[in-house]
Amino acid sequence: MTNDLRRRLAAREWAPGEQIDTFRMIQQKYGISGVSGVQNALAPLIQEGLLEGRQGRGTYVLRLPSPTPEPTSAEQARAQADAPPPRTTVCQALGEVTGGISTKLLRRTGTLV
């Protein structure tokens, strides 16, 4: 939910000074059943200086993040774990084993060896 709100801020859904969705709207949109869940989701955005909570008045945008937010270290680790291993072609593998002979032949003849 925090990342989705950050994405919505980066997408310029709200401008600085504007009020974001109310707690009730956020609860309904994300299926949260308590105020503390919304507060926990907004806390990182408030700490980053993107949002400001005003007691009894709502939550307002202070500034917008860059259009492409940087992933957190946990997201980076997850993305790296999910990424397929780098692909090696037969010619690359043979080139490593034979000192590049197959690559040189491929360049000369244009035919896979």
Question: Can you give the length of the chain in residues?
Answer: 113
Q: Which two tokens stand for residue 27?
A: 């609860």
Per the prediction, the chain carries an average pLDDT of 78
Position 94 scores a pLDDT of 55
Task: Say how far apart CA 21 and CA 59 lie, in whole Å.
Answer: 8
Give per-residue pLDDT as tens, 81-95. 666 655 655 655 555
Give per-residue pLDDT as tens, 39-71. 999 999 999 999 999 988 999 999 998 765 555
Residue 76: C-alpha distances to residues 3, 71, 72, 80 (Å): 14, 6, 6, 6
Task: Say how far apart CA 105 and CA 111 lie, in whole Å.
Answer: 8
User: Confidence class of residue 35 from pLDDT cuts 50, 70 and 90?
Assistant: confident
Helices 23-30 and 35-47: crossing angle, nearest 10°? 110
Average pLDDT over residues 3-20: 93
Q: Which two tokens stand for residue 3?
A: 């990342």
Position 104 scores a pLDDT of 58
Position 90 scores a pLDDT of 60
